[in-house]
Chains A and B, each alone.
Chain A
Amino acid sequence: MTNGNCFRIVASLASGVIFGLGLSLSGMLDPARVRGFLDIARDWNPSLAFVLGGAVAVAAVGAVVARRMRKPLFDERFHLPATSVVDRRLIAGSAIFGIGWGMVGLCPGPALASLALGLPATFLFVAAMFAGMTAYDRLEVARSWLRKSPRDAGQVT
């Protein structure tokens, strides 16, 4: 293992711990509170707006510093998304994500972090979430295969 690789793993571990601690302190781990934040028409609990505000403010400082660096500390280059195209896939995917998030009050970060509490309901949610991720990836593979070989797939071109 190269030194850079080792540093990357340690930095990822540290970043994960800080993220999980932040989720725990902020109240984001509690699905009841998350749904309370989303329930603007009835009993609105605005505290999670402070979580997002605090997170974006500090992350923005990181983004500004990153923009002034030629490369990250332990890698050859930045791996940031370059596209700025707003397409149907982005909107439909986000809409579907929001429905699931609203139904349960869990998104991927809090779901994985709260596995540490050992609740069976969380394990069930994470298993279903992984199934959903895999299902989408399979669908994409199948679709790109159809696009590449229309004749093999029985389509008339």
Chain B
Amino acid sequence: MTDYWNALAGGMLIGLSAAVLVLATGRVAGISGIAGRLLQGVQLAAGAAFVVGLACGPVLFRLLSGQWPEVTLTASWPILVVGGFLVGFGSRMGSGCTSGHGVVGLARLSRRSIVAVATFMTTAILTVYVMGIFA
């Protein structure tokens, strides 16, 4: 039960973060977009500030709760490399990821984002299913 409350409260914080960014700077809180602009050297200071803040989040969580957030990462290194590459390539090609399309896009009822979320949810679910067969 605590799981669900924490999930809901954490989700609301993510939504709040998106609201703060759009109301203050007029931009979408899409991580792939922000990271991509950083790599291209566009909007450098604001993007770097966001990413530094992002990495401070778990540290703040540690200070408030006394423990690090749980991270169980068991993937082998070839899976990490291929998966990471596909996540980077696909999020640039599809103009967004779980945050940009999934949170901000759905909140704005963007047609593109609704299609994007339906598409990546489907392929992600299929991927986990297929990998489970061979595990």
Contact = CB atoms under 8 A, between A and B. Distances in A.
Interface of A: 5, 7-33, 35, 38-42, 47-48, 50-63, 65-66, 69, 71-75, 77-81, 83-86, 89-109, 111-117, 119, 121-122, 124-137
Contact of B57 (A50, A85, A113, A121): A113
20 contacts: A16-B57, A17-B54, A18-B57, A19-B13, A19-B50, A20-B54, A20-B57, A25-B6, A52-B106, A54-B14, A75-B26, A78-B26, A100-B83, A102-B128, A121-B77, A125-B80, A125-B83, A128-B85, A132-B89, A136-B92
B84 A132 contact: yes
Nearest to B68: A117
Nearest to B61: A24
Given A12-B46, A95-B90, A134-B88, 20 more contacts: A20-B58, A21-B57, A22-B11, A24-B57, A59-B18, A60-B108, A75-B25, A79-B26, A80-B22, A83-B112, A92-B94, A95-B120, A102-B124, A103-B83, A112-B51, A124-B77, A128-B84, A129-B88, A133-B32, A133-B88
B35 A7 contact: no
Contact of A18 (B17, B51, B73, B108): B17
A59 to B, nearest CB: 4
A15 B103 contact: no
Contact of A73 (B23, B53, B99): B23
Contacts of B99: 19, 107-109
A21 B55 CA distance: 9
Contacts of B123: 94-99, 102
Given A47-B3, A54-B15, A108 B56 contact: no
Contacts of A53: 8, 11
Contacts of B69: 23-25, 27, 29-30, 114, 117
Contacts of A10: 49
B71 to A, nearest CB: 5
A3 B112 CA distance: 35
Interface residues of B, number: 103
Nearest to A4: B25
B10 A26 contact: yes
Given A16-B52, A78-B26, A133 B91 contact: yes
Contact of B94 (A9, A48, A81, A96): A96
Contacts of A21: 10, 13, 57, 60-61
Contact of B124 (A15, A98, A111): A98
Interface in B92-135: 92-95, 97-99, 101-104, 106-108, 110-112, 115-117, 119-129, 131-132
Nearest to B53: A16
Contact of B110 (A5, A16, A81, A104): A81
